[in-house]
Amino acid sequence: MSTSEHPIDIASYIDHTVLTPEASAADVEALCAEALAYNVAAVCVSPSRIPVAVAAVNGRLGVATVAGFPSGAHPSSAKIADAVFAADAGATEIDMVVDLGLVVDGRWDEVEADIAAVRAAVPRPTLLKVIIEAAALTDDQIVACCERSEAAGADYVKTSTGFHPSGGASIEAVALMRATVGDRLGVKASGGIRSRESALAMIEAGASRLGTSSTAKILDGDS
C-alpha cells in the first residue's frame, strides 16, 4: 500500500547520525537534543562519543555505534574489541562493517565467521547490524552477504557506511536485501538519504531503519 494512503511515521525509522571524525562532544549533544525533539529510533555516533550520547538520551532512545568502521578490513578481534567497548559503554546497537575483501574473494565461511564472532561477543538484546557496502557489490554478492549475516545471527543488514566512493543506499539494493531476508531481519538504508522523498522511497522498498544526518530536512513539514 502506498504511503499516501497510510502515512508513515518516518521519525520512528531514523537513526540520527553523526560519524564525521571531527564531531565534538558538543556536536553529539546537539544531535541528541534534535533526536529527542523528533523522537527518532536511535542516535548513531562514533565509539568515543558513546558516553556523551548515553548521558544525553538517558534511555529515551537507542544509542548505536560502529565497529570495524569504515573499511571493514579489520581482524575479527578488532571488531570484537570495538563492539565490547561499545556495549560496556552503554550502546544498544552495533553497526559492524563486513570485510569486503573476503566478500570479493568469495570466502563466505570467513565472512560469516567474522560476523558470528562479533555476535557472540555482544549477544542480544544488543542489536547487531551488518554493513555490506551494497553499492560496491554485485547482486549475487549482496544476496550472499545477507544470507551469511542471517546465518551468523545478525539482526539487520545495512546498505552502506556512507563513506565508500561507490555510493550509498539505492532503492534496488534495499529491495533486494528485503527480498533476501524477508521479515526475519531488519534492513537499514544508509548513505545519501537527505529528503522526505528519498526516505519514503527507501521505506517503500523495504527499509525498516534509515541512517541519516539530514533528519530535520527530512521531517520538517511532515504532518
Active site residues: 95, 158, 188
Query: Which amino acid, one-letter code, is at 127?
Result: L
Cell 536511535 belongs to residue: 42
Extract the runs of DSSP E, i.e. beta strands, from 80-149: 93-97, 127-131
Q: Which of 90, 95, 30, 29 lies closest to 63 in space, CA to CA?
A: 90
Cα–Cα distance measured from residue 110 to residue 72, given in angstroms and rounded to the nearest whole number: 13
Which cell goes with 168? 550509498
DSSP string across 135-189:
GGS-HHHHHHHHHHHHHTT-SEEE---S-STT-S--HHHHHHHHHHHTTTSEEEE
Of 148, 141, 122, 136, whose CA–CA distance to 67 is shortest? 122
Rounded to whole angstroms, how far apart are CA atoms 9 and 154?
Answer: 25
Separation CA 121–CA 84 (nearest Å): 7
